[in-house]
Amino acid sequence: MNVEIITIGDELLIGQVVDTNSAWIGQALGNEGFRVVWRTTVGDNEQDMLDAFDAAMNRAQIVLVTGGIGPTKDDITKQTLCKYFHTRLRFSQEVYENIETIFSRGGRVMNELTRNQALVPEDCTVIQNTAGTAPVTWFERNGKILVSMPGVPYEMKWIMSNEIIPRLKKKFLQDVYIKHHTCWVKGHTESLLAIKLTEFEEALPEYIKLAYLPQPGIIRLRLSAYCDTESEALRIITEQALKLREILGENIIVEEDKPVHEMIGELLIKMNLTLGTAESCTGGRIAAQLTSIPGSSAYFVGSIVCYANRVKEQLLGVSPLDLSEKGAVSKEVVEQMAKGTLLTLGCDCSVATSGIAGPSGGTPEKPVGTVWIAAACRDKVRSELFHFGTNREQNMLRASNMALLMLLDMLQS
């Protein structure tokens, strides 16, 4: 079934808030066999919203809307939906009681604006939002569905997982089975990888799609098979994945649809190892990725952001002589940083980064983008020199990704 996602809010259009809802919904629906064909973002303007609803209902069977159903004056989605579906708002005692329950749990007092959350369109199915105060509304017209949900990400995710996806699966018979296969690839830019896979892509049947999902220093490849039966989809995707493996060989890091930092966490738990980081040019970004995973305290012990040389000396035991003669961006220093992290933090494994992120600070011998990375695990230490570009943000992201890849490779070897 074709799906369109509409996200509402001026804050999305001006970049004040990043639209993560569409990405999450698209992935969740794709895993269940639904196909997102359009994504639209509109501001808090009635006519723009009416135009977006009309266009979406004309080209998709399912329209999922997030945002604009809060208690403030700029939240006009409910009123606009009433106008679009030629209905009016009514007071819902059930929604009101749900809001009361949520407020009582938090020890808060309900006000008039919050009470207005219990006003819902008359001609729709109301779905209770037990994660928040804004109810979900489900409209049907000419065999098509429009669902309006809160824009708050954790509320939307709960509602989609527990209410919307189960209802959509029950209502629409799936005549297409979809199987995905994901692999992470290193050592290629997106364009070079596409050139290498030209013959492979040209030979793919129409019902097989290959998507390139690049990140700084690493590319995620996703194969998708759309077939009449689940067994056929599984057979086809397995065959194509084997061909990819033969072409890319050791450049495939892993064949899982998970972030590298999550795979590292699983390996550390399995191997009963702990991890710490020593970050200079990455400024704590590696630690931020690692700790974004729930339960990471089981293996991650801490990080030392050692920007200044004296911090490298005092906390990590880096040799002042090496810092003076070799420089902070050197093999000797970054390896000492990795080893010092094991001692200072009392962990089994570590990664360390030291480089020139830019845009200034480079020299002819060590231009901007020069980065040394080291990984240590007990008595093993690896280090590698990288030459990135001149963009500071990209250099920090690339260094973080390369450090995680180095650690993953060490744990897997």
Picking from 254, 275, 293, the residue at the C-terminal end of a domain is 254
Picking from 237, 254, 271, the residue at the C-terminal end of a domain is 254
What pLDDT, on the 0 to 100 scale, is given for residue 107? 76
Range of the domain at 128: 2-171
Q: Which residues pair with 278 in a beta bridge?
A: 304, 352
Residue 345 has pLDDT above 80, yes or no: yes
The pTM of the full predicted model, rounded to 2 decimals, is: 0.72
Q: Is 100 exposed, middle or buried (0-12, 13-18, 19+ CB in 10 A)?
A: middle
Read off φ and ψ for residue 327, nearest 5 degrees: 95, 155
Q: Which long-range contacts (CB under 8 A, 24 or more apart) does 284-288 make?
A: 285/396, 285/397, 285/400, 286/351, 286/353, 286/400, 286/403, 286/404
Q: Is the domain of 142 the same as that of 219?
A: no
What pLDDT, on the 0 to 100 scale, is given for residue 175? 65
What pLDDT, on the 0 to 100 scale, is given for residue 173? 60
Q: Is the domain of 278 the same as that of 403?
A: yes
Between residues 289 and 30, the one the model is more confident about: 289
What pLDDT, on the 0 to 100 scale, is given for residue 217? 80
Q: Is the domain of 7 the same as that of 140?
A: yes
Q: What rounded mean pLDDT belongs to the chain?
A: 93
Residue 174 has pLDDT above 70, yes or no: no
Whether the link from the prior residue into 359 is cis, omega within 30° of 0, is yes
Q: Is the domain of 222 the same as that of 300?
A: no
CATH number of the domain residue 365 falls in: 3.90.950.20
Residue 129 contacts residue 159 (beta carbons within 8 Å):
yes
Q: Is the domain of 108 the same as that of 238?
A: no
Read off φ and ψ for residue 355, nearest 5 degrees: -165, -175
In degrees, to the nearest 5, what angle opens at C-alpha 340 toward C-alphas 334 and 342?
115
What pLDDT, on the 0 to 100 scale, is given for residue 172? 83
Q: Is the domain of 224 the same as that of 274?
A: no
Three-state secondary structure call for residue 223: strand
Domain count, the chain: 3
HSE (CB half, 13 Å, CA atoms) of 77? 29
What's the rounded Cα separation, in Å, for the pair 169 and 164?
A: 9
- Residue pLDDT, tens place only, 32-78: 878 899 999 999 999 999 999 999 999 999 999 999 998 888 889 99
